[in-house]
Chains A and B, each alone.
Chain A
Amino acid sequence: DAKTTQPNSMESNEEEPVHLPCNHSTISGTDYIHWYRQLPSQGPEYVIHGLTSNVNNRMASLAIAEDRKSSTLILHRATLRDAAVYYCILTRALGGAQKLVFGQGTRLTINP
């Protein structure tokens, strides 16, 4: 299975944009790029996913490199509530169960 590499931790300030990088140099053509986050004492929460094109939703934006070997999760205006561990995960479209493999993720700290 293709793996992802993320920085262990990042820090940003409240109300500023945050760019969380993810490298996935062995990604295959059918792999989707998913982002989840886990707030303290909660279960992981789906954030966004994409295949080739950049994606936006109410929570974040996902920018995917043209060669798909890296991607960036963008939080446009961080709040204190965005402090969490962010996971970048590759998945494949299946007609069955999705057995997500979580790495260590990036722990994001937001300063007031």
Chain B
Amino acid sequence: DAGITQSPRHKVTETGTPVTLRCHQTENHRYMYWYRQDPGHGLRLIHYSYGVKDTDKGEVSDGYSVSRSKTEDFLLTLESATSSQTSVYFCAISGTTLRVNTGELFFGEGSRLTVL
């Protein structure tokens, strides 16, 4: 299994509170991603990172920010959580600096967030 750890795995919070989800990898992979999964929408890319301090927006980035201060950690922050951000969040990693990526991503086990 790819060394990806997401924390927390489950969180219940209230509308308006800040929330940070953490993704930690032990694979030294260059690229990291945050996806969310909702019924009827499948998996959608929120943000991704292509290196330390290098990030970019995905398909559904509004309301989210990310940071990557170390290769191994990619944080997803909801500055002020809303009920529409209730979802399952998956972190993924890919690639090394040694070869071209053809599309193999390794996913974490997910973080289930409920915003009341």
User: CA of A111 to CA of B76 in the docked complex: distance in angstroms?
Assistant: 39
**Interfacial residues of chain B within 1-52, with CB under 8 A of chain A in the complex:** 31, 33, 35, 42-45, 48-50
B92, A49: Cβ atoms under 8 Å?
no
**Contact string against B for A residues 70-109, beta-carbon threshold 8 Å, 1 for contact and 0 otherwise:** 0000000000000000000101111111111111110000
Question: Beyond A43-B92, A43-B110, is A32–B42 a contact (Cβ under 8 Å)?
Answer: no
Nearest-Cβ distance from residue B23 to partner chain A, whole angstroms: 11
Flag whether B64 is at the interface (Cβ < 8 A): no
B100, A97: Cβ atoms under 8 Å?
no
The residue that A43 contacts in the complex, of B49, B95, B108, with Cβ under 8 A, is B108
B101, A46: Cβ atoms under 8 Å?
no
Question: Beyond A43-B92, A89-B103, is A100–B45 a contact (Cβ under 8 Å)?
Answer: yes
Question: Beyond A46-B106, A91-B103, is A102–B43 a contact (Cβ under 8 Å)?
Answer: yes
A91, B90: Cβ atoms under 8 Å?
no
**Residue on A nearest B58 in the bound complex, by CB:** A99
Most central of A42, A100, A105 by chain B CB within 10 Å: A100
Flag whether A11 is at the interface (Cβ < 8 A): no
**Residue on B nearest A90 in the bound complex, by CB:** B103
User: CA of A93 to CA of B101 in the docked complex: distance in angstroms?
Assistant: 6
A98, B95: Cβ atoms under 8 Å?
yes
Residues of B contacting A: mostly: strand
User: CA of A63 to CA of B45 in the docked complex: distance in angstroms?
Assistant: 28
A residues in contact with B44, CB < 8 Å: 102
Nearest-Cβ distance from residue B57 to partner chain A, whole angstroms: 10
Nearest-Cβ distance from residue A103 to partner chain B, whole angstroms: 6
A97, B50: Cβ atoms under 8 Å?
yes
**Contact string against A for B residues 75-96, beta-carbon threshold 8 Å, 1 for contact and 0 otherwise:** 0000000000000001010110
| Residues of B that sit less than 8 Å from A by CB | 31, 33, 35, 42-45, 48-50, 56, 58, 90, 92, 94-95, 100-110
| Residues of A that sit less than 8 Å from B by CB | 32, 34, 36, 41-46, 49, 89, 91-105
6 other contacts beyond A98-B95, A98-B102, A102-B42, with CB at 8 A cut-off? A32-B102, A43-B92, A43-B107, A93-B100, A93-B101, A100-B105
